[in-house]
Amino acid sequence: MRSGLVKLLTVALVLAGTAVPGTASAAGRVVSEPVYDFASAIRETVWVDTGRDGDADGRDDRVAADLVRPREAADRGIKVPVIMDASPYYSCCGRGGEKEVKTYDGAGRPVGFPLYYDNFFVPRGYAVVLVDLAGTNRSRGCVDVGGVSDVGSAKSVVDWLNGRATGYSSATGGTAVSAAWSTGNVGMIGKSYDGTIANGVAATGVAGLKTIVPIAAISSWYDYYRTDGAVGNSGSPAGLAQTVSARNQGQNCSAANQRLRQDFPANGDYSPAWLERDHVAAAKNVRASVFAVNGVNDLNVKTINFGQWWSALASTGVDRKLWLSQTGHVDPFDFRRAEWVAALHQWFDHYLLGLDNGVGNSPRVSVERQPDVWVDQTAWPAAGTRDVVLRPVAGPTAGVGTMTSGPAVTGSASITDTGRVGEATWAAQPTATSTSRVLYSTGVLAQDLHVSGTGTVTVTVTPSTPTARVSAVLVDYGRQTIRNYGGAGEGVKFGSAEDCWGASTTGDDACYRIAATDTANVGLHIFSRGWADLANHRSLSREEQLVPGRPYTMTFRLASTDKVVPKGHQLALIIGGTDAGFVSAPAQPPRLTVDLSKTFVTLPLDGTTPVAGVPGSLPAHPAQVVATEPARLDHG
């Protein structure tokens, strides 16, 4: 009864024009309350001038910003902050687990807003703005897949919300529309491509952007399509542009699409086009706080993207928070729903409404250690983590040995790259000789081993042909239950039951299917990977033809992770040629001779350095290996 009286008092004060942003929750925190009527909220579209003419029609492109905001606040002159999701997917592919798209009435006014942000936050005194990137849905212009057009689409709307850009009542012509109702405080959120745009806009340093919440987001487009010189199997920027702009009629983007085909080298070289889309390189400009979320088993947007972004932000001094789940490419709304909405609510209330709600006292990093078992850390990489070098030592079985933290040991091993096999095959029989990989293990661990951060592998190999790929994976051998990140739901599975998060109207439902945890009992877990093209051993910006028979040394990155390999398990490093599920094969797959004395892995370890033992208890045939086929970004 008391909380109800507090809410009614808040409503009365707000309607009287007095700014009362929040009340005390049952947990003792100050929170914004749902005091505004969602059904009567203002729903409109404003087309914002981007100052660019991407489709070369002689007019500046305007991007469509569909928005919903509380009518009572507008009627009484109360300004509200904005939660914004800028996306290319609002007509082509949909958002969220239910693939929602925008819907409109017969007059073109927005009715259905994908996801729950509007249902939950508008009654609590926020506006929600969903932006169609240039060249998608109802926006003019052309998609450039993470470039100045994409990022500029969203930045222009932030500028309009702060009085620095012009909005209009229609896509062409029309009258100017002001955002005088906005406080100018903007928080951007989004998963995958959407979260990537949030990273990109933050990296411009635009004033008014107070916080971003990137979920499974790219920090460098190079590290989506390429990896240390190797060409990935994730398609091409031109192909993605065609997917997201397929329903955008009446515009000529042939020149823009041709640039997308020309600007990106077919090989793995890091070009100026990739630099334009490298938000890590521009991280020094970020002024917004960052609440990042990623699945450590995300095989779509590889985890190097969150790792390098988080690390680059450390030098900026901005407030940061990180959630790491065991899922693949999954939104936290679908793996930790109630906790996620509460955390997001607290985050936006603080950074957009300015509430003193103790958000700084919450754990900086939360990690899902086992399915639905979360632990908190003060930092990522975990406090106490240090880089440890482990070196391979040949054993009595060819291509199988141990790892040691001691000095280098002489020896060599051979790999034949067919271009047709990959990590699942390499890991399946760890005690047997394989022509396609070599494997080195710590032996049975006497203590838990915490790998937290971004590791690297340094290899010295001699190829037999002028072209060569090198791959490396880290494997936790031992019986364990993990999220089934290789399954259809990438660690979750949806039932038919729903729960509701906010208010609903006809055409804009706040209820969503509940996702349960999907697990797999496995005998091994491949938890980090890295790939490289040996031709880029000297420079990622320019490959060179290899000389058969000559040794080359190259250091490349492993995927960022946070993984505890338990006592009694074994940690193994596998080195192979082409990992066929993830990177393309070289023109002439080689035989590789690995110089063990000049090959090692550098791992970020928290805890005791493992002492190499004999890997005799490695399971020869694990009962189950989670599938590892990478998804495509345009699956959202």
Bridge partners (DSSP) listed for residue 86: 131
Written as six digits, the tokens of 574 are 């596998």
The catalytically annotated residue of 61, 194, 289, 329 is 329
Closest CA to 534 of 555, 518, 514, 564: 555
Query: Could you confirm whether 350 is annotated as catalytic?
Result: no
Give the three-state DSSP class for 437: strand
Q: In angstroms, what is the C-alpha Rg of the chain?
A: 26
Residue identified by tokens 């609002």 is: 90
Do 48 and 160 contact (CB within 8 A), yes or no?
yes
Strands annotated E in 224-287: 226-227, 230-231
Do 139 and 62 contact (CB within 8 A), yes or no?
yes
Non-local CB neighbours of 190 within 8 Å, separated by 6+ positions = 85, 86, 87, 196, 197, 198, 213, 214, 215, 217
Do 208 and 185 contact (CB within 8 A), yes or no?
yes
Q: Is 613 exposed, middle or buried (0-12, 13-18, 19+ CB in 10 A)?
A: middle
DSSP state of 88: S
Give the distance, in angstroms, between the CA of residue 227 and the centroid of all CA atoms in the same chain: 16
Bridge partners (DSSP) listed for residue 23: 31
The catalytically annotated residue of 55, 194, 278, 298 is 298
Query: Could you confirm whether 319 is annotated as catalytic?
Result: no
Query: Could you confirm whether 450 is annotated as catalytic?
Result: no
Do 43 and 109 contact (CB within 8 A), yes or no?
yes
Q: Which amino acid is at 59?
A: R
Number of Cβ within 10 Å of residue 414's Cβ equals 15
The catalytically annotated residue of 149, 156, 192, 528 is 192
Bridge partners (DSSP) listed for residue 249: none
Enumerate the active-site residues: 192, 298, 329
